[in-house]
Chain A
Amino acid sequence: MEHVISVQGLTKDYKQVRALENVDLRVPRGRIVGLLGKNGAGKSTFLKCLLDFLRYEGDIAFFGKSVKEWKYDLHTRVAYIPDVSGLDPRLTVQQTMDYAAGMNPTWNAEKAERLFAKSELPRKQKVKTLSKGMKTKLYLMLTLAKDVDILLLDEPTLGLDIVFRKEFYDLLLGEFFDETKTVIISTHQVDEVENILHDVIFIDHGRVKLHETVDKLKKDWSIVEVSADREQDLMAFNPKATSRSLGKVRGLIEGDIKLSDAIIAVPSVSDIFVAVVNQ
C-alpha cells in the first residue's frame, strides 16, 4: 500500500508546552482519515507541522519526499483549509477566485466555474460581508478547483449550522474524493464525520493514542448491555467505559466477549473515542 504521508518522531514544543510528542504515522492513498481529539489536543499543530508552517523536530514526507525538499511546490499537490475562515476580507469573491486561479498551475477552470455556478456565491461581494458558512464554502470551492491529491481540513465546519455542514461534506465527497485522493479531517465533532471516515487517529495531549481503520475498530470493540444485577459479570471483562440507566448497565469492551443474555451492539466511533482519550 502506497503511503502518501509519512511522519516519524514528530515533536513540537511551544516554549514550555509540549504540543506534539514523538508522533509516528503513515497515511495511505485513497483514504479519508479523521484526526480526532479534544480542544487543545494538538490537531491543528499537527496539520501545520505537516505543511512545514511551524518549526518542529522529526521527519515529515509527502509522496516519499521530505516536506523540506518540496518547499512551495508541495501546494500543487496538497491543499489546506484552516480552522478559521482565513480568506482576505478586502477582496471580493471574484477577486479571490481570480487570485487562486492565477497562482495555481493545477487550477481547473471548468470545475471552478461549475462549482461557483451551483454555489450562488455573490461574486462581486467582498469576502468580509459573507457569512461564516459562505466563507467556508468559498474556501472549499477554491480548494476543490485546485485538483490536489491531498486535502487537509482543520475543523472545517466549526461554527457552521447543520445545513452548511451537510453541504460541505456532500461537496467534499461528491466533488473531491475518489480512490486516488486522500483527506485528513481534524475535528472534535466526532459524530459529524464518523460515517464518512475510513481511518481514525485519536490524538490526546500531543500523543497518538490510536490509529486504526474504522472497520477494524468496529469489529474489535463492542457495547455490551446487561441487567444491573449482572454488573460484576460485565466488570470482569474490564470495560473501558460504563454507564447505567433504567436498570441496565452498559460497558464498552475491547476484544471478543461471550456473555450470556447480554445485548451486544456495535459502538460508534465517538463512544470509542471518549473511552480511549479518557483512559
Chain B
Amino acid sequence: MNQIKTLLLTEYQKRKSSYWWPVWIIAGLIGLSLIAVLVAVIIDSPNIVVYGGIDEGAMGLRIGMYGVMFSFAIIFLAFMGLGAQTSLNREKQLGSDLFFRCQPASVWKVTGVKYFMHVYASSILLLGVGLIFALLLSIVSAFYVDGFYLGQALYGAFLGWLNYLKLVLVFGSLCYFLSAVFKNNALLKGAAVLGILEGLFAIIEVIFRHTITLPDVFVTLGKMVGNMGLDDIDTVNMSMVMGDYRILFGLLFAAGCFVGGTLIYKYRAKDV
C-alpha cells in the first residue's frame, strides 16, 4: 500500500503542472467572461439568458451544466491525451528509466499507477471544477429563474463528468497503449497509423467493389464511448449517458490497451 501511495504521489509530482493547466485555462475563460459581463454592466444593462431552451428552471440548469461540462471536458481531454501519450516512454526519453526500474516493485503495479494517473486522475480535477461551477451557476441563476436548483446543476455536472470518463476510457487508454508502442510523439504516430489503416480498409473495399464492408476505425472507437446524450440533450439523464451496452466494449478495449501496453512495455524495456 505504501508503494502505491508513493507511486501515485510521484507520478503527480512529475507532471503536476499539466494536471493544473486545464483548470487555469477554464478559470481564465470564466474570468474573461466575468470581465465581459462587468463591462456590459458598466456600459449598459446586460441581457443575460441563462438557458433559452425548453425550461429555464431545474431542467435548464441540468442541461446547461451538462453542456458546460462538455466544453470543460474537451480542454481536459486535450491535456490528458498529451500526457497519456508519454505514460510509458517519458522516463526513457529523460534517461531516468533505469532508476525507476531498479526499485523493488512489480511492473504491473508501476504501470497500473501510471495508467490511472495519466488517464483518469485529471477527471478528479474536472469533477472538482464542475462541482464549483455548478454551485456558482445555481447561485447566479437563482436571480434569473424561479428557484435555487443546486441539485439539478450538480446532476448535470455529474452526467458531464461521466461522459468525460467514458471518453478517457477509450481515448486515454488508446494513448496509454500508443506510449508503449512509440518512443516519442505517440499520439501523432498513432493517429497516422489509424488513418493509414482506415485508408487501407477503404482501398480494400474498392478493390472488392464494395462487396465487403470493413469497419471504420475512428467510428468504431467513437461507438465504444456509447451515447454522449448530445442528440437528445433536452432530456439528458443517467440512463441515456450510462445505459448503453457499447460502454462494455469500451471497458474491454481499455483493459486490452492496459494489458497490451504493459506487455509491450515489459518486452521493449529489455531493448536498452
Question: A residues touching B (Cβ–Cβ < 8 Å)?
Answer: 48, 51, 53-55, 71-76, 79-80, 82, 84, 86-92, 95, 98-105, 139
Contact = CB atoms under 8 A, between A and B. Distances in A.
B107 to A, nearest CB: 8
Interface stretch (B9-17, B232-240, B250-258): B9-17
A86 B93 CA distance: 11
Interface of B: 2-3, 5-7, 9-10, 13-15, 91, 94-107, 269-270, 272
A256 to B, nearest CB: 45
A88 B102 contact: no
B96 A104 contact: no
Contacts of A91: 10, 13-14
Main secondary structure of the interface of B (DSSP, over half): helix
Contacts of A54: 270, 272
A100 B100 CA distance: 9
A84 B99 CA distance: 11
Nearest to A51: B102
A152 to B, nearest CB: 10
Nearest to B2: A102
B96 A88 contact: yes
27 contacts: A51-B102, A53-B101, A75-B103, A75-B104, A86-B96, A86-B99, A87-B96, A88-B14, A88-B91, A89-B94, A90-B14, A90-B15, A91-B13, A91-B14, A95-B10, A95-B13, A98-B6, A98-B10, A102-B2, A102-B3, A102-B6, A102-B10, A103-B3, A103-B6, A103-B7, A103-B105, A104-B104
Contacts, number: 77
A210 B102 CA distance: 29
B104 A80 contact: no
B98 A99 contact: no
A251 B133 CA distance: 85
Centre residue among B13, B15, B91 by max chain A CB count within 10 A? B13
A99 B6 contact: yes
Given A86-B98, A87-B96, A92-B13, 14 more contacts: A51-B102, A53-B272, A54-B270, A71-B106, A86-B96, A86-B97, A88-B99, A90-B94, A95-B13, A98-B6, A102-B2, A102-B5, A102-B7, A103-B7
A216 to B, nearest CB: 33
Contacts of A100: 103
Nearest to A154: B98
Contact of A86 (B2, B13, B95): B95
Nearest to A89: B94
B5 A90 contact: no
Nearest to B17: A90
A80 B101 CA distance: 10
A88 B94 contact: yes
Given A87-B99, A88-B14, A102-B5, A72 B105 contact: yes
Centre residue among B2, B102, B104, B270 by max chain A CB count within 10 A? B102
Contact of B96 (A53, A72, A89, A102): A89
B161 to A, nearest CB: 28
Contacts of A89: 94, 96
A53 B94 contact: no
Nearest to A139: B99
A-B pairs, 7 with minimum CB distance: A102-B6, A75-B104, A103-B103, A88-B96, A76-B104, A90-B14, A99-B10
Nearest to A73: B104
B95 A55 contact: no
Contact of B102 (A55, A71, A79, A101): A79
